[in-house]
Amino acid sequence: MSIRSAWGNLSRSIVYLVLMLGCVIAIAPFVVTILASLKTTGELVQGIFSLPEEAQWKNYVQAWNDGHFSRFFLNSIIVAVGVVIPSIVFSTMTGYAFARFRFKGSGILFAFFLLGLVVPLQALVVPLYYLLREMGLLDSLWALILPQIAMSMSFGTLLMRQAFLSIPREIMEASIVDGASSWTTLWQVMYPLARPMIGTTALMFFIWTWNEFLLPLVVNIDPKYQTLPVGLLYFQQRWTSNIPVVAAGATIIFLPLVAMFLLFQRQLVEGITQGAVKG
């Protein structure tokens, strides 16, 4: 073996090691947390990687019941689905409108829809709170769903317009020549062709909504209407001195996300990288 290839092999191994180290560091905190969630506080103080004598599943029961995680989970799902589906439907419609039609004011309207890219939630949340108060929507799931649909509009419109523009014009023309209405063209022809993009967009919306923290924190005080991220914070504050239980709560939250990630990994990574870069 020449020195060159020996060096090649060595550097390969080193790089692999570094990559693995990076990967380990990325997931170690979660692994350690799972381990901690099965211990008692006493065992926790003793050793880090030591296994518990008896897996303390009651920590999970406590988190699920006392910590109301069952409620938070349900709310998170309702809100996520309630945001993603309308957001996809609406963005498809607006993206289509801007891609297919030429109409007065389209430039201004498009810019208007892009407003959400520029305005962060932080700049909205204070007046939004008072607006929701006036509408009597505080402490409801609507307070979470409606604003988040609005917040998805900018990115959604942008992406969907992009997706539709990249479909060859001939296809759309053919459908029109066939006498199809624009609505039919959209849902029967364009939409199926844009499915990959729609899929990844939906995935991204789901994750952003699932992870949303500031909005639920501010507008919903009643835990009946609270979502998982805020629920976790309340939980941490209440059980602060019982770390295994807090760890159990944290695990309840990240395991589904890990599952989702593994299932949709390719789409997710593709979506975030392509979607962000394509712009």
Give the gyration radius of the chain's Cα atoms: 24
145 burial level (CB within 10 Å; 0-12, 13-18, 19+): buried
C-beta closer to another protein: residue 15 or 55: 15
Q: Which of 96, 189, 191, 201 binds another protein (CB under 8 A)?
A: 96
Cβ(227)–Cβ(212) under 8 Å?
yes
Q: Binding of another protein at residue 94 (CB under 8 A)?
A: yes
| Cα-to-chain-centroid distance, residue 56 | 30
Q: How many residues bind another protein (CB under 8 A)?
A: 148
Residue 106 Cβ vs another protein, minimum distance, rounded to whole Å: 7
C-beta closer to another protein: residue 55 or 111: 111
Residue 268 Cβ vs another protein, minimum distance, rounded to whole Å: 7
Q: Binding of another protein at residue 174 (CB under 8 A)?
A: no
Residue 64: CA atoms inside 13 Å, Cβ hemisphere, count?
Answer: 9
Q: Binding of another protein at residue 7 (CB under 8 A)?
A: no
Q: Binding of another protein at residue 36 (CB under 8 A)?
A: yes
Residue 33 Cβ vs another protein, minimum distance, rounded to whole Å: 5
Report 184-243 residues binding another protein (CB under 8 A): 195, 199, 202, 204, 207-208, 210-211, 213-214, 217-218, 220-225, 228-230, 232-234, 236-243
C-beta atoms surrounding 99 within 10 Å = 21
How far is residue 143's CA from residue 177's CA, in Å, rounded to a whole number? 44
Report 98-137 residues binding another protein (CB under 8 A): 98-103, 106-107, 109-120, 122-131, 133, 136
Nearest to 120 by CA among 94, 147, 145: 147
| Cα-to-chain-centroid distance, residue 212 | 8
Q: Which of 16, 17, 57, 255 binds another protein (CB under 8 A)?
A: 16
How far is residue 19's CA from residue 14's CA, in Å, rounded to a whole number? 9
C-beta closer to another protein: residue 58 or 224: 224
Residue 226 Cβ vs another protein, minimum distance, rounded to whole Å: 11
DSSP, residue by residue, 28-91: HHHHHHHHHHTS-HHHHHH-SSPPPSS--THHHHHHHHTT-HHHHHHHHHHHHHHHHHHHHHHH
Report 139-158 residues binding another protein (CB under 8 A): 139-142, 145-147, 149-151, 153, 155, 157-158
Site map 54..93 versus another protein, x via CB under 8 A: -----------------------xx--xx-xxx---xx-x
